[in-house]
C-alpha cells in the first residue's frame, strides 16, 4: 500500500491522482445527498447529433463531441459516472505503464503513455458501461411515465436540510427511486417523515421536498 501511494504521488502520476480524488469527493457528496447523481448529466437527442440539453437549457453540442459522448454511452449513463470510470482507468493504466515501461521517468514517454492510456481507457469505459445502458434507459422511461414531482416520498437520510438529504419514493412498477433532495423549510426534516416532492432543480440534480 505504501509503495502504491508513493507511485501515485510521483509528479507524472499526481495530476490523475488528484482528479480521481476529486471524483471520489463528488460521489461521497452524492451519497450524503449534497449533489444528485445526474447533476451534471447531458441529455443527447438520440436522432440528432447537434442538439443537446445541458443543465436544462438547449444548446448546440458540436457533432464530434456528441459522437464521442455517444461512443462511451453518455447518452444513457450519467456523465459523471463516465468521467469517473475514464479517470480511474487512465490512472491505473498510466501508473502501471510508467512503473514497468518508464522507470527513468522520461518526459516524452510520459506523454506517450498518457495519450495511449486515454485511448485504451475510452474503449474500456464503453465496454464497462454497455451492460448499464438498458438499465438507465429503463429508469429514464419510468421517470417520464411516472414523474417524481407531485408525488410523495419518505426521508431515508438522517435528515433533509436546505443543503442535503435523501428520500425514497415508491413506484407503481420497479424498485423504489432514491432522490437526492433539499427542503426550503427552516427546520430539518427527520428520517422516516413522509414528504411531498414539489420541485426539481436540474442544474443541481436535487428535488425540493416539504412536509405534508
pLDDT in tens, 59-84: 445 567 777 888 888 888 888 899 99
141, part of any domain: no
Is residue 10 in some structural domain? yes
Cα–Cα distance measured from residue 209 to residue 167, given in angstroms and rounded to the nearest whole number: 9
Pairwise CA distance, residues 157 & 34, whole Å: 11
Q: What is the mean pLDDT of the chain?
A: 82
Asked whether residue 116 falls in the same domain as residue 158, the answer is: no
Please measure the distance between the N-terminal and C-terminal CA atoms of the chain and give it in whole angstroms: 50
Are residues 95 and 30 part of one domain?
yes
pLDDT over 50 at 48, yes or no: no
- At residue 158, the pLDDT reads 85
Question: Which stretches of 49-206 are DSSP H helices?
Answer: 63-71, 79-101, 107-129, 133-145
104 and 13 in one domain?
yes
According to DSSP, the β-strands at 194-201 and 206-211 are antiparallel
Confidence of residue 49 (pLDDT cuts 50, 70, 90): very low
- pLDDT, tens digit (0-9, with 9 covering 90-100), for 188-199: 999 899 999 999
Asked if pLDDT for residue 142 goes beyond 90, the answer is no
Set of cell numbers at residue 91: 490512472
34: left (phi over 0), alpha (psi -120 to 50) or beta: alpha
**171 and 119 fall within a common domain:** no
Q: What is the CATH number of the domain that holds 207?
A: 2.40.50.140
Residues 124 and 22 in one domain: yes
CA distance linking residue 168 with residue 154, whole number of Å: 5
pLDDT band at 204 (very low <50, low <70, confident <90, very high): confident
109 shares its domain with 164: no
- 17 grid coordinates: 491522482
Q: Across residues 53-57, what is the average pLDDT? A: 41
Q: Domain end: 76, 110, 136, which one?
A: 136
Does residue 183 form part of some domain?
yes
In this prediction, residue 50 has a pLDDT band, given cuts at 50, 70 and 90, of very low
Other beta carbons within 10 Å of 93? 19
Same domain? For 107 and 40 the reply is: yes
Over the stretch 105-132, which tens digit does the pLDDT of each residue have?
898 999 999 999 999 999 999 999 999 9
**130 and 159: one domain?**
no
Residue 43 makes CB contacts below 8 A (sequence gap 6+) with 52, 53, 54, 75
Where among 106, 136, 166 does a domain terminate? 136
Helix (H) or strand (E) holding 25: helix 14-32
Determine, yes or no, domain membership for 128. yes
Q: Do 112 and 180 share a domain, yes or no?
A: no
Question: From the CB of residue 77, how many other CB atoms can be counted at a distance below 10 Å?
Answer: 21
**This prediction's pTM:** 0.67
- 212: Cα separation from own chain's centroid: 31
pLDDT of residue 51: 38
- Provide the domain count of the chain: 2
- Per the structure, the complete domain to which residue 55 belongs is given by 2-136
Does a structural domain hold residue 142?
Answer: no
16 within some domain: yes
Given 115, 136, 157, the domain boundary residue is 136
Residues 10 and 106 in one domain: yes
Amino acid at each position: 500500500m505504501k509503495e502504491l501511494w508513493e507511485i501515485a504521488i510521483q509528479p507524472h502520476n499526481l495530476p490523475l491522482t488528484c482528479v480521481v480524488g476529486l471524483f471520489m469527493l463528488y460521489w461521497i457528496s452524492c451519497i450524503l445527498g449534497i449533489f444528485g447523481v445526474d447533476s451534471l448529466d447531458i441529455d443527447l437527442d438520440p436522432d440528432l447529433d447537434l442538439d443537446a440539453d445541458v443543465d436544462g437549457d438547449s444548446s448546440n453540442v458540436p457533432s464530434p463531441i456528441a459522437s464521442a459522448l455517444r461512443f462511451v454511452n453518455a447518452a444513457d449513463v450519467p456523465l459523471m459516472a463516465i468521467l469517473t470510470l475514464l479517470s480511474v482507468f487512465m490512472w491505473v493504466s498510466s501508473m502501471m505503464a510508467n512503473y514497468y515501461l518508464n522507470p527513468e521517468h522520461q518526459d516524452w514517454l510520459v506523454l506517450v503513455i498518457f495519450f495511449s492510456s486515454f485511448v485504451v481507457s475510452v474503449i474500456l469505459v464503453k465496454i464497462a458501461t454497455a451492460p448499464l445502458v438498458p438499465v438507465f434507459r429503463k429508469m429514464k422511461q419510468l421517470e417520464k411515465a411516472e414523474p417524481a414531482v407531485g408525488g410523495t416520498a419518505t426521508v431515508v437520510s438522517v435528515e433533509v436540510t436546505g443543503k442535503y438529504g435523501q428520500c425514497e419514493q415508491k413506484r407503481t412498477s420497479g424498485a423504489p427511486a432514491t432522490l437526492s433532495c433539499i427542503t426550503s423549510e427552516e427546520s430539518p426534516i427527520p428520517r422516516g417523515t413522509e414528504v411531498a416532492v414539489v420541485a426539481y432543480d436540474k442544474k443541481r440534480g436535487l428535488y425540493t421536498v416539504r412536509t405534508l
